[in-house]
Amino acid sequence: MKKNMKLGVALVTAATLISGGAVATSASATTYKYYIAYQGPLTGDNKQTGLDEIAGVKYALALYNKANPKAQVGLKQVDDQGSGPGASVVAPGTAKDKSILAIVGPAFSGASVASFPYYKAAGLPLISPSATRVTLTDPSSTDFGGPVFHRLPSKDDKQGPALAKYAIQGVKSPVVYTVNDQSSYGTGLDGYVQSALKALGHAAVGTDSVDGTNTTLDFSATISKIKDSKTNVVIYSGYYAQAAGFVKQLRNAGFTGIFASGDGTYDPGFIDGAGDAAEGARLTASSAVFQDAGKAIAADFKKVTGNAPGTYATEDFDAANIILSCIKKGNTTRAKIQKCINTGTFTGLMGNTIKFDKNGDTAGAGFINAFLVTGGTIISKGQI
C-alpha cells in the first residue's frame, strides 16, 4: 500500500542520485585525509530520525575538529532511507571508499542486515546508535553483524520486560492493551512486552497494529477496541511522532488510564506533539536525553548543528566520539579502529562507561531507565 507508482518513480530517481552522489556529497567543500560516515535515513519517510541522528555525529565532529585543528576528520553521509533495499544500493560504494575509517550506523535494523555482507567483507567497523533488533548481535542468527557490528542501545529483549513492568507498576488490577506501529522496531518490542506481561500474570487483553508511516492519523478503530476491552493500561511500541497523535486521540476519547511507551517515544518531540495528552505518560529508555547533559551543551549543540538535540542524539554523539578517540590514538586503518573499539573502554556523554562484548553489545548493558512526563517535561524515575 505504501509503495505505489509514484514512489516507484521517486525511488528510481533517488537510487540514481544516491548511487552516484550521496557518498561523495560531503567531500565537496574541504577534503580530509580520513572520514567517518553516518549511515541512516536522510531522505524518505524516516528522514526525521536520520536528521536527528546525524546532528549528534556532526556535533561530536565539530568539537573534535576544533580541538584537533591539524588532524581534522570529515563526515560522509550515507543515505540508506532506513530500509534494506536502500542500504544494498549504498553499502557497496561505502565499503569500497577507503577514506572512510568507520561508520556511525546503520540507524535501522533492517538496513543493518542488508549492509552487513559488504562491511564484513571490507572490514569496516560499525557502531549503531539505534539498531535494537536482538538477532543483530546473536552469533547463531543469519542477521549477526559481528565482528564489525557494535551498538549502543539496549536490546529490545531488555527493554520489553522493563516497559511492561513499569507500565503496570502500582495499578491495582491492570488490564493491558498493547499497540505497535508495524515497524520492525515496534513489532519487535511489542512482542517482548507481550511475553513479559504474560510472565507477570497480566497477559494483554488485546493487541493492535497501527500504521506507523505518520501519514495515517486516524486511530479511532483501535481506540474503540481499547475502550471496549475496559483497558486501564495502554503500551505503545513505536516512534514518538505517531505516539503523540495516538495519545492525543486516546485522551480525547476519554481514556483515563496509563499510557506507556518505549525509547522510540522518549523524545521532547513527543510532548510538543501531544501537549497536555502527554501528561503522565510512562516512558522507558536505555539512555538519557541529550538535554540532561546540561543546558549549556544542549544550547551549543543547537548553535553548531542548527537543530536541538533529538532522538538518539546521545548515542550518536557517543558513537562518533568512540571512533574519534580511536583515531586520535593514531589508529588510522579500519583494522586498527576495529581493534580499538573491541578492546577499549570509553566514557559516554553522561559519564557512563562504555565497553563492548564479543558480539558487539555494550558489556553489562541492560539497564533501563524509567521516565514520567510531568508538567510538560520528561522526569527520570531511575532504573527499573
Partner 1 sequence: MHTLISQFWQLTFSGAVQGFIYILISLGYTMVYGVLRMINFANSEIFMVGTFATIVVSRDILGHQPNSGDLHGFTLIYSMLFCLIASMLASGVTAVIVELVAYRRLRSRGTNRLAPLISAIGMSIVLSESVSLLTAGRATIAPEMLHKSSLFTILGANIRVDQLLVFIVAPIMFFGLQRFVNHTRLGKGIRAVSMNEETAKLMGVNLNRVISITFLIGGLMTGAAAFFFETVYEATKFNIGFNIGIAAFTAAVLGGIGNIRGAFVGGLTLGLLETYASAVLGSQWKAITVFIVLVLVLLVRPNGLFGEAIQQSRV
Candidate residues 97, 143, 208, 300; the one interacting with partner 1 per rule CB under 8 A: 208
Candidate residues 241, 247, 281, 322; the one interacting with partner 1 per rule CB under 8 A: 241
Beta carbon of residue 375, minimum distance to partner 1 (angstroms, whole number): 12
Based on the shown chain and the rule CB under 8 A, indicate whether residue 275 belongs to the binding site for partner 1.
Answer: yes
Query: What mask of x and - would describe binding to partner 1 in positions 280 to 309, judged by CB under 8 A?
Result: ---------------------------x--
> By rule CB under 8 A, what count of residues binds partner 1?
47
Place of cell 583494522: 335
Candidate residues 31, 140, 142, 220; the one interacting with partner 1 per rule CB under 8 A: 220
Beta carbon of residue 156, minimum distance to partner 1 (angstroms, whole number): 19
In angstroms, how far is the first alpha carbon of the chain from the final one? 39
243-272 binders of partner 1 (CB under 8 A): 244-245, 248-249, 252-254, 269, 272
Question: Torsion angle, CA of 230/233/239/244, rounded to 10 degrees?
Answer: 70
Q: Which is nearer to partner 1, 49 or 331 (CB)?
A: 49
Candidate residues 47, 328, 355, 381; the one interacting with partner 1 per rule CB under 8 A: 47
Q: Which is nearer to partner 1, 162 or 313 (CB)?
A: 313
Place of cell 585525509: 33
Distance, in Å, from the CA atom of 380 to the CA atom of 334, rounded to the nearest integer, reads 38
Helix, strand, coil in percent for the chain, rounding step 5: 45, 15, 35
Distance, in Å, from the CA atom of 375 to the CA atom of 73, rounded to the nearest integer, reads 42
Distance, in Å, from the CA atom of 174 to the CA atom of 85, rounded to the nearest integer, reads 41
**Segment contacting partner 1 (CB under 8 A): 68-76, 140-148, 224-232, 320-328?**
224-232
Beta carbon of residue 32, minimum distance to partner 1 (angstroms, whole number): 26
Q: What are phi and psi of 321, to 5 degrees?
A: -65, -35
Q: For the residues of 266-300, what is the DSSP string, one character each?
A: -SHHHHHHHGGGGTT-EEEESS--GGGG-HHHHHH
Q: Which is nearer to partner 1, 89 or 223 (CB)?
A: 223
175-204 binders of partner 1 (CB under 8 A): 182
**Segment contacting partner 1 (CB under 8 A): 44-52, 92-100, 194-202, 316-324?**
44-52
Do residues 77 and 68 touch, judged by C-beta distance below 8 A?
no
Q: Which is nearer to partner 1, 254 or 351 (CB)?
A: 254
> What does the buried/exposed string (b/e) look like for 254-288 if buried means 16 or more CB atoms within 10 Å of the residue's CB?
ebebbbbbbbbbbbbbbbebbeebbbbbbbbbbbb
Based on the shown chain and the rule CB under 8 A, indicate whether residue 12 belongs to the binding site for partner 1.
Answer: no
3-state SS, residue 322:
helix
Candidate residues 211, 279, 292, 300; the one interacting with partner 1 per rule CB under 8 A: 211
Place of cell 546473536: 138
Beta carbon of residue 308, minimum distance to partner 1 (angstroms, whole number): 11
Beta carbon of residue 12, minimum distance to partner 1 (angstroms, whole number): 11
3-state SS, residue 151:
strand
Query: What mask of x and - would describe binding to partner 1 in positions 129 to 158, judged by CB under 8 A?
Result: ------------------------------
Query: Is residue 325 left, alpha or beta, with left meaning phi > 0 and alpha meaning psi from -120 to 50?
Result: alpha
Roughly what angle, to the nearest 10 degrees, separates helices 313-328 and 47-67? 40
Do residues 104 and 127 touch, judged by C-beta distance below 8 A?
yes
Candidate residues 5, 170, 201, 375; the one interacting with partner 1 per rule CB under 8 A: 5
Based on the shown chain and the rule CB under 8 A, indicate whether residue 17 belongs to the binding site for partner 1.
Answer: no
- Residues of the shown chain interacting with partner 1 in the complex, contacts defined by CB under 8 A: 1-2, 4-6, 9-10, 13, 45, 47-48, 51, 182, 207-211, 213-222, 224-225, 227-229, 241, 244-245, 248-249, 252-254, 269, 272-273, 275-276, 307
